[in-house]
Amino acid sequence: DSVLALAETRGIGGRRLVWAGTRNGGLSVWDGERWRRHDRASGADLPSDLVQALLETRDEAGRGPLWVGTREGVARYDGERWRNLAAEPGWPTSSVLALLEDRTAEGRWALWIGTSTGLYRWSDGAITQLKSSESPNTRRLRKTFPSSS
């Protein structure tokens, strides 16, 4: 299966984990000894088994969830439980292509979600879709930052 996204996280006891998001097989995780699969058939509450973006965020203790961007929305894994955020009001159900952790000027945490239908921001427990006047114009960005290929 094609690998579309990679991320490294720290598991229980600080053990290094390598995650691979695939085109049709959900996620596979390498713990240094073996691969384990997390997909909808195995009970992972993913919006889709097509995984396109991965991001681990960290709290002050150095632990945090793995955010998973799929073809049909976002899921979060805390190391024990999956949460399908696409099933919750306001969260995107379109193809998630990018995830970014951010801190505001006041030090508050935010998650940026780039989708096939626009840009979302989750902060202070609220999800907001940026209006077209607030979102980047991708045509303008392509012209400003031409591809090297």
CA distances to 28, 40, 94, 111, 125 from 7, rounded to whole Å, are 11, 20, 21, 16, 24
Question: Does pLDDT of 63 surpass 50?
Answer: yes
pLDDT bucket at 10, cuts 50 / 70 / 90: confident
134 or 105: which leads in pLDDT? 105
Adjacency order of strands within the sheet including 66-70 = 51-56, 66-70, 73-77, 82-84
- CA–CA gap between residue 131 and residue 122 (Å, rounded): 14
Q: Looking at residues 58-78, what average pLDDT do you find?
A: 86
- pTM value is 0.84
